[in-house]
Amino acid sequence: MKTHTEVSSQRRKGRRAQLGAPSNIRYKLMSAHLSKDLRKKYNVRALPVRKDDEVTVVRGTHKGTKGKVSSVYRKRWTIQIEKLTRTKANGMPYQIPIRASQCIITKPYLNEDRKQLLARKASAKVSTKGKGEKHTTESTKKAD
């Protein structure tokens, strides 16, 4: 059943909206999960990937590879990691493209804007706390 009136539930329109999205929308769509310790520290699940973030590949053939993001290629929906390279037939190295969703951020690059983003996302999460949570005996006793 459709719940959001402004967004179409048709697969065709959803794919067109995502694949034809402009760069500022792709910025948000190219997000990666934070590692478990960072998730507890910042109270945020995911962040848009940025150059100079340190990530670990968690899915695919390059699983376990760690490195720093050297570029975010929004046009191709990929990121490039410094240590992930392969040599071409003529001996030239090239960086292997990886999807942002296949990685987790282990050390985010923090500037003022990024710190504000983390604070904003954490405060939004706190304000919706309790929504969708399972009831326990302690939470029902507090309500009484």
- Whether 84 is covered by a domain: the verdict is yes
d(CA 16, CA 85): 32
What residue type is 53 in one-letter code?
D
87 in a structural domain: yes
Q: What percent of the chain has pLDDT over 70?
A: 90
Across 78-98, average pLDDT? 95
Q: Say what the pLDDT of residue 140 is.
A: 63
CA 68 to chain centre: 15
Residue 30: count of CB within 10 angstroms of its CB: 19
Mean pLDDT to the nearest integer, 50-76: 96
d(CA 114, CA 53): 11
- pTM (two decimals): 0.81
Domain of 98, CATH number, reads: 2.30.30.30
For residue 144, pLDDT over 60 is answered with no
Q: Is residue 74 part of a domain?
A: yes
**pLDDT at residue 4, rounded to an integer:** 85
- Domain count of the fold of the chain: 1
Domain limits for position 75: 31-125
Q: Is the pLDDT of residue 109 over 60?
A: yes
- 55 forms beta bridges with 67, 105
The reply to whether 3 falls in a domain is no
Average pLDDT over the chain, rounded to whole? 91
